[in-house]
Every structure is written in structure tokens, then in C-alpha cells.
Structure 1
């Protein structure tokens, strides 16, 4: 039978009292199984919470124990196996059998969890669906057919469409339909690594048999749960957090926040010492750049020409160094795969592939460990708060800046593939000391800037897109606020490892209180990562507006950052606007805390 031994009503009431006296409702494992933090449930539906809408942890515990001990408990046990087993263990109830749960048993047979791993997929800030990265759980084991199988347990939403403001509003405010899936892992890896060119880190987790079983059983409980996806409060990271929190690890549980990101999950797992091994599966584009990073553009052009003209064997034969032969072959292999992924070369093109078969015997094997190269575990936290003072419009002010997710260009990007900025809900407040007035200085709903250095083998287009409410100056250097949508593209050149310059062409529409204007602004930028954990970001723009196109004006902005610790830094900002008649200058000094 698929139930525990029948228990009398009086005994049932006594068991409920026992559970409440033990304060089982406060246990971390129980709250994680309910997707509850600080008394707040994150799945608000009576299909998942038996006490909804009169939810409380104690009431939910009572309802679940009553359902488990009822005469007809098969439905409960088959729907909530993780809860049933945990309650049975804590209350020392008779053993539970799942013999009458054929669908659940089939799931266990087909998706074994002999090993459970955490998978982090790197971000792609140019795509709304992946701008913060992605995190999922991997099940691995031997199925009923004695075959090794890997499955991905993932939570996501549909972000297709061209109406970016609508997508952002739904994902942030109203919520979107969430999709919880269990699929063959290889399908996911192929899409992330080849189609989307994203790196994949896999982390081996230190879990007991009991913890692995609880996670595996809990995945089944989520199969029919009505899930709503919110970008901020319930996303792939939130759901993964609750799955890992079912282990009862206090370090994992305490690192919950109302806006979790995939990077938060990786870092909390590391802080809890759950991670015992790391493997990186690099995207071809990333691997090409990493392996050829120390070689000149002429070296890259020579390799590209050799591969394109089926002369790889001759290039390797003419190279004396065994190590360089190995690098050439590895870069060429990734370049071949990248060309195939881009549809530039057919995967079965015989002539193109023959050169690799002929070249392989000429290359001595070496080992390259990429797992710690630009590691997510070394990346800065992706929320921040800044406080400081500034001078603008002939008066001093006190400033506050809050960024709930992502990072700014002046932050440490050393663990990313390129310099970039991603702002989501960045808000700035300013207190004017002379006027004694607090005002909203800016609200950057969404801003993406990516400076990808142009590469001979993979190309690379830099770009920017933003939607914001912030101050603007016109051709007379008069300041007023506007809602702005701006975008553009250009090129970045890596002058040396720590210095890059970029040129972008930007266009935008500005919605002022009394009218609409458009602007065009060529932009020249410089980013320098300096000694002593300092960084300079300088940008010059010449701005043409439809208000007075024949009277363009100029702006230059310099941000100098100094990091004291990975979490604490100081930024000095100097900004100046000028035209043929006058100039306007502003500056600020801000202390930033990452968290």
C-alpha cells in the first residue's frame, strides 16, 4: 500500500501537538519544501499549500500531517513525497511505501539522482532571457535500463517578442507564466554553448543520500505546482535556492534575498562548502579569445587563413614549439566549431574536416584547466548601494544610488568575458542642500552596454541600449529631466590587456515635459584597469539634437574608481558639458558597498 499505517484520530491530534511542540514548522527543511521565507510563501496556491489562503507555517504543518495520517492518504503521498518522508522521519511514523504511485516510481526510474550538481550558465546581457545568466540543477545516474543519463531541472519563462517595455513590466510587476522542466541535459548544453555561445560551469555538490533524495522527491512536487515567474522575486535562482535549502543548510538559507540572481546561488553554495569540484565547458567564442589572448592579430590572421584554405597541417608543421602547436590546434578546432555554429561551414564538409584529421597526429597533448579562468566565484556581488556628495548647478548635494541587480561599467569586470554594464532598476536620489529638497535624480529601468573587443577570428560588435528617466542638457546647456530610449553600436579595440578604446554611434528619443526631441551622438570611450585596484572610464560625446541640429554641444565624463575590498570601493566622477559659448561642470564622490 502507498500509505503509512492507519492512525486513530486521537493519536493523530497527539502527533500534531507533538510536531508543534517540536516547532517543526520552523525547521529550515520544512520551510524550503514550502518555498517560504520569513513567513512569506512564494507559491500562493492551494494546489501547493494545503492551508492557502489561510496560510501560516503552523497551519500548513497541521494540514500536511492530517493529510498524511488520513485513511485515504495515497493522493497526498504520491503528490508530496518529499514532505511525506520528512514528516515520517521527524515524527518517527511507520515506513511509507510508494507502491501505489506508479507515475512517481516511473519518474524515479527515468531520472535517477545518484549525483546532483549545480549548473551555472554565463550571462549574455544583449539578450533579455539571459542577461543575468541562468542556474539549474543536474541529476545524473543509472536508469532502469542500466544507462547513464543526465537531466536538467530548470525554471524559466517565455521572453519572446519585440515589446521590451511590456516584457519588463510583466516580468517585474504582473508576473509571467513560469515553466518548470525536466529535460535531457545535453539538449540544454547544446543550446547554451553553441547557439547562444555561453560558458557553462558545473559544480559538484557535497550532499548526503538523504539530502539528494529530498531534492529529487521535491522536484516531483513542483511538477504540477502553479508557478509564476517574476524577474525580481521568483526566478530560476529563487526556485533553485529553495531546492538547495531543502538540505537544511543554514548558510544557504540565510543568504536568501528578495532578488536572487544565478550568481547568488553559486556564491551561497560555495559559502556553505557544498561545492567540491568545478568543471568549465567553454563556448567556442570564449575559448578562442582566451587561448589566443596573448597572440598578436597577425598570428590570428595567419591561423584563420590556414584553416579557411585547408592549410592547418602546413601551419602546424612549420611551428617549432610543441606548446604553440597545441594552442594552434585548439584554437583552430574551436574556430571550426564556431564557424559551424554560425552556419558559415557545413558540419560534414569533407575538405574542411580532413585537415584536422591530418593535423591531430602532429600535436602533443597538454592539459589546460579553464575552471578558474574568469570564474563566477571570483566575480563581485551583483547588488550595490552608494552614498556620497556632489556639486552641480552651482550647489552641493548629498546623493544616494541603489542598484538591486547587475553592475556598472566602473565596477570590476575582470571575471567577465568583456567590459560591460547592466543596470536593472537603478535609482538615484539627490538632496539639494541649499534648497533643502529631496528629489529623484534618475531611474534607469534597463540599461545595457557591452564593449566586446573586435577579434580577427570571431569579430565582435559593441553596443548599447537603455530606457531611463534622467537629467539631460540641451544645446544651451540648460538641464531638464526626460524619459529616454537610446541605442547604438560600434567597435572596441583592445590596445593592451588592461586598456581598450571604443567608438559607438548612438541615437535616441527624449520625452520632455513639454515636447519630444531626438538626438544623435558619436561617442569615443576609454577603459583602463590600472594598478592598485583602480579603474578609469572616460567617455566623450558630441551631441546633435533635433531642437537645434546646427548647434551641437560636447560632453566628457570621467569616472575614477578605487577598490579597497571586493565589496567596498570609492568613485570620483567628473562631468563637463560645453558649447561655443559656455560650459557646465559637475562632480561627485561616492562610497559604494557591493552585496
Structure 2
């Protein structure tokens, strides 16, 4: 009798499920919702496939298409609607989108998704934020900056997409992050804990923006994070990083973003796109503690700084007491000791700095150069990311730069002269103070032209340097470095050692001046290398997209020579 009842129940239920499946799918296909930008964003579509290779996430991976993925998603979700583990629990964002676009209400068992419901209870709240963390050019995993999503509810949580690094080898890490990919996933952490790490330990500033989303869009974004949480994801430094993932998350919430996907997605570009689409409001900036202490040390003077260094906090004025409080907390953080006072002390130091004042990351320059040998060229330079030391870097309270794929050439009617083919270059002028001693670093790998004789020589080079940077005032940096270059050119191996001194100064709001003096010691006597090189750059910031750079170089040695360059620099 029981078997007969079950059979009759099956006869009634099966047509209902089949009817719902056919009706929902036919409406979805008729409306062609698979062509919608939201659907493409949910699949992390890159124009020909998905960035995600997990076959449990991309159901049509054997023969991918947007339409087939929609068909397989609907069929799978409805065929498991009455099971104890409905497939809708793995694809809640897709299902929410499908129901919204078709205007239908079909029960697929989403109320039985315990994990999803717990996730929603933990993160769902009234406010949603986009967070940007400034770059650390000395760390390959942090040199592009970082993006995260913050959920403000009963408690504040930050959700980040991060690579799962299991190797200490820089070469393996570089290879995997560029070519094979690194296993990655989403990490959930209390916002204040994450902020604490960035400001106190990493020395990185944080910007936060309120995201202006409807309830439906906010829910769709939350659901999509949940369904990505279980997917097998691979981190690629250039094409699929934290910025790429957040870009797709925001595109789910605002489909217009998908129409403007840049070739290389960086955290700063995502913030600019979100601002352009009016997704952002209420910018808030948290300055990193190391630069805060640097500013305060200049304000209170050396005598007060030495007292604080010795632990003597008596007879200090208000700024001195504040510096002492921050320094005490900084030392506790170094020892991984928590103190309630330290959790909020940095918020007493409020600084206004807009991330949108950061220089644009794509650079093209064109101008005129008269080289050391008197040859004159049309000068062209290009690099796709990220920033130059000649840029206006005041927004971040640090002088630093990182460049990938830089090309610099001179063109005349008679010849083509290569000046630089840079693979990777960094400059990090970190302020050295009594309370927080930091090391200034520079590194370059690639091809560049060296002065030697008349026209110089073009060589593959690996170079680096380390030293100290001081800030006698807020808008000036003075540095002293010891540098080593080594490489190969057409006559063989060469090596150089040279100390250098220089200064970076903002004499006015729309300009920047750079001086440098290098004393060269060559380990290859056959090279006619100069003894001393002096250079000066004067940059004028005409607007956010255009700079003008004047450069003068003077060589001293057996022969003296000058080089002059003027160029317009376009940033976009």
C-alpha cells in the first residue's frame, strides 16, 4: 500500500517539476537572459570563456557557452529541488538572478540551505563598503594594492580574495602567479582586525567607500560571494587577482561596469570605475601608523622624540603625548600584544586624502631628446602599469613607484635608439626616523642604456640599491643609497658600484623637482664610464591626465657631456 502511495505521489510531483523546469527555462531562453551582463559577471566571463576552471562551478566547461550554462543551471537546480542537498545552495546568486529576470517564483529548496542562511545572518546588514589598501612596492604580493568588501551589520566583517601562498621561493611564487596560477579563496575576518594589520604592521593606508546598492543588488552580491566561496579558484597576478574578482562582484551589482573592463584590472582602476558609475559615497581614509609617526616627529622636534624613545613621557605637550601613545602601541603590536587603547588610537589622527587624486596608471609620453653624443630624437615612452617616481605621489604620504613593461626609445630619420626595456622596476623611499627606522630600496631588471663614450651601450641589467631616506619637511625627501648594477652587453659582462644622493621636492602644488648625484666605480676597465652623473627633473602637473617633464643630465669624467629632454606625459 505504501509503495502505491509513493508511486501516485511521484506521478503528481514529476509533471509539476518538469512543467516548472520547462516553463522557467523557456521564459529564460525567450528573454535571452544569458546575454545579460549580470549573467556574464556571475560566470566571470572573459569574452570567450570563464576565468574559473572548476567543473563543479562552470557546468558547461566541456563545451562552454553562456546559453548552455543557463540551461544546465536551471536543469540541475530544479532536478534537485526536493533533495536533501538541493543544487540551489551552490548557485544562490544565479537562481536569484534567473527568478528576477523571468518574473517567476519557483521553489528550488533554497530555504533548506543551512550554510547560506548562516552566512547571510553573519554578514547581512544595512551598509556595504568597498575597501582599498595602498600598495607595498617592496612585496610582490602587495605591490598593486588590495581590494576587499566590508559588510557592516551586528559586527563588521571584511571579505578578501587572496592567494594561498605555500612557497617561500620568490622565483616559484613569481612563476606560479604569472603562469600556472596559485590556489586562492575568500577569507572572512573582522574589519577592525584587518584594518589593524594594514595600518600597524604593513604600514599601508586604507580608503573605504560606502557602496550605493539596492536591496536586490546587495543580496545578489552577497549570494555571489557565497557561491564563489566553495569554488576552486586560481589566482593570477595579472589577469585574475583580488581586483578582478571584486570587479566581477561589483559588476553583478552594477552591470554597467562590465562594459568598461580594462585589459589589466588593478585595484585603483576598479575604484575609478565604481566612482564613474556613481557606486561610491562617503570616502574615509585611514593613514598608516608609520607615516603618522613620521609627521608627528617633525612636529614635536628631536628633543621630544629622544625623550619618547627613552621611555620618558613626562612634561610632553598634547602632540608629544599623542606621539608617545602611538609609539607605545606600535611597540606592543610588534610583540603581538593587544591593548584596548590601541584599537582606536589611530582614529584620533584624521587626515584627508582622496584616493581619486592618485595618478592614473597608464603612461604614454612623447617629446624631444638631445643625447650625450649630440644626436637628436623624438623621444617616446610607455608603460601600462602602475606609477612613476615622477608622478604626484602625495596622496599616499610616500614616495614610491612600481613599473612593469616599460619601453623607452628615441626615433630619428636615420636611426632607432633604445633607452629602456624594463621588465620590472621599483623605488621605495621609506622615511628613516628615530622611532621607526625604515630602509629605502630600489630594484630594476631589464634592458637599459648606460653612458659610455659617445652613444653609450644597451645592456641587460639587474640592479638594486639600499639606503636611507629622510624627510626634513612634509613635502621633501632626501636620500642616500648604495647601488650595484651587473649585466651583459655585446662585449661581455659588466658591473658597477655607485653611491648616490638626491632629493625629491614639491616646491608648489602643481610641480615636483628631483635631483640626483651618482659617483660611478666600474669593474670593467675597458669601459669609458663617467665618474659622476648629475641629473635634475622638473615636472609640472597641468591636470590629472597631463604632465610636462623637463630633464637635464650632466656627465663628468674623461669627457663631459650633457643630455636634455622635454616630454609631455599622458596619464589615463
Band the TM-score falls in, shorter-chain normalisation: 0.7 to 0.9
2:482 to 488, 505, 509: 505
Residue 100 (structure 2) aligns with: 89
Larger deviation, residues 41-50 vs 463-472: 41-50
Q: Deviations over 1:304-338 (max 9, x none)?
A: 3443455424224xxxxxxxx2x232222111112
Contact 1:576/1:583 (<8 A) preserved: yes
2:288 to 255, 258, 283: 283
Question: Partner of 2:391: helix, strand, or coil?
Answer: coil
Q: Structure 1 residue 123: deviation in Å?
A: 1.8
Q: 2:206 & 2:380 partners in 1: Cα distance?
A: 36
Question: Partner of 1:105: helix, strand, or coil?
Answer: helix
Please state if 1:18 is matched with 2:27.
yes
**TM-score (norm. length: structure 2):** 0.87
1:51 to 51, 60, 66: 60
Q: 1:551 & 1:211 partners in 2: Cα distance?
A: 63
Please state if 1:216 is matched with 2:222.
yes
Residue 395 (structure 1) aligns with: 375
Contact 2:239/2:265 (<8 A) preserved: yes
Contact 2:484/2:497 (<8 A) preserved: yes
Q: How many residues align?
A: 552
Contact 2:309/2:434 (<8 A) preserved: no
Please state if 1:428 is matched with 2:429.
no
- Aligned counterparts, 1:35-434, within 5 A: 35-70=44-79, 75-96=86-107, 97-141=109-153, 148-158=154-164, 163-250=169-256, 252-293=257-298, 295=299, 299-316=300-317, 325=318, 327-343=319-335, 370=350, 372=352, 374-392=353-371, 393-434=373-414
Q: Structure 1 residue 404: deviation in Å?
A: 1.8
Please state if 1:569 is matched with 2:569.
no
Q: Structure 1 residue 285: deviation in Å?
A: 1.4
Q: Structure 1 residue 15: deviation in Å?
A: 4.4
Q: 1:434 & 1:24 partners in 2: Cα distance?
A: 57
Q: 2:327 & 2:377 partners in 1: Cα distance?
A: 53
Q: Deviations over 1:484-538 (max 9, x none)?
A: 1212222223344433322211112222244222210111212222336122222
Larger deviation, residues 31-40 vs 402-411: 31-40
Residue 473 (structure 1) aligns with: 451
Q: 2:294 & 2:149 partners in 1: Cα distance?
A: 28
Contact 1:129/1:159 (<8 A) preserved: no
Q: Structure 1 residue 481: deviation in Å?
A: 2.0
Contact 1:134/1:237 (<8 A) preserved: yes
Contact 1:36/1:42 (<8 A) preserved: yes
Q: 2:338 & 2:301 partners in 1: Cα distance?
A: 22
Q: 2:246 & 2:519 partners in 1: Cα distance?
A: 46
Q: 1:210 & 1:229 partners in 2: Cα distance?
A: 29
Q: 1:531 & 1:310 partners in 2: Cα distance?
A: 38
Contact 1:391/1:397 (<8 A) preserved: yes
Q: Structure 1 residue 466: deviation in Å?
A: 1.8
Q: 2:14 & 2:137 partners in 1: Cα distance?
A: 54
Q: 2:193 & 2:337 partners in 1: Cα distance?
A: 20
Judged with a 3 Å threshold, the aligned counterparts in structure 2 of structure 1 residues 233 and 400 are, in CA distance, closer, same or farther, namely: farther
2:520 to 529, 543, 554: 543
Judged with a 3 Å threshold, the aligned counterparts in structure 2 of structure 1 residues 551 and 125 are, in CA distance, closer, same or farther, namely: closer
1:529 to 499, 502, 506: 506
Question: Partner of 1:152: helix, strand, or coil?
Answer: strand
Which ranges in structure 1 are unaligned for 5 or more consecutive residues?
Answer: 142-147, 317-324, 357-364
Contact 1:409/1:537 (<8 A) preserved: no
Q: Structure 1 residue 292: deviation in Å?
A: 4.5
Residue 461 (structure 2) aligns with: 484
Residue 428 (structure 2) aligns with: 450
Residue 321 (structure 1) aligns with: none
Q: Structure 1 residue 94: deviation in Å?
A: 2.3
Contact 1:178/1:229 (<8 A) preserved: yes
Question: Partner of 1:62: helix, strand, or coil?
Answer: helix
Q: Structure 1 residue 138: deviation in Å?
A: 1.4
Q: Deviations over 1:360-389 (max 9, x none)?
A: xxxxx9x967252x3322212222222334
Judged with a 3 Å threshold, the aligned counterparts in structure 2 of structure 1 residues 570 and 23 are, in CA distance, closer, same or farther, namely: farther
Q: 2:555 & 2:307 partners in 1: Cα distance?
A: 49
Judged with a 3 Å threshold, the aligned counterparts in structure 2 of structure 1 residues 308 and 497 are, in CA distance, closer, same or farther, namely: closer
Question: Partner of 2:414: helix, strand, or coil?
Answer: coil
Question: Partner of 2:41: helix, strand, or coil?
Answer: helix
Contact 2:178/2:236 (<8 A) preserved: yes
Q: 2:271 & 2:391 partners in 1: Cα distance?
A: 20
Judged with a 3 Å threshold, the aligned counterparts in structure 2 of structure 1 residues 101 and 551 are, in CA distance, closer, same or farther, namely: closer
Contact 1:238/1:260 (<8 A) preserved: yes
Q: 1:303 & 1:159 partners in 2: Cα distance?
A: 42
Question: Partner of 1:84: helix, strand, or coil?
Answer: helix
Q: Deviations over 1:81-132 (max 9, x none)?
A: 0101110121122243423322323333344344321122222212222222
Judged with a 3 Å threshold, the aligned counterparts in structure 2 of structure 1 residues 161 and 511 are, in CA distance, closer, same or farther, namely: farther
CA RMSD of aligned residues (A): 3.1
Residue 361 (structure 1) aligns with: none
Q: Deviations over 1:181-227 (max 9, x none)?
A: 22333442332222222222232222221112111111111112221
Which ranges in structure 2 are unaligned for 5 or more consecutive residues?
Answer: 1-12
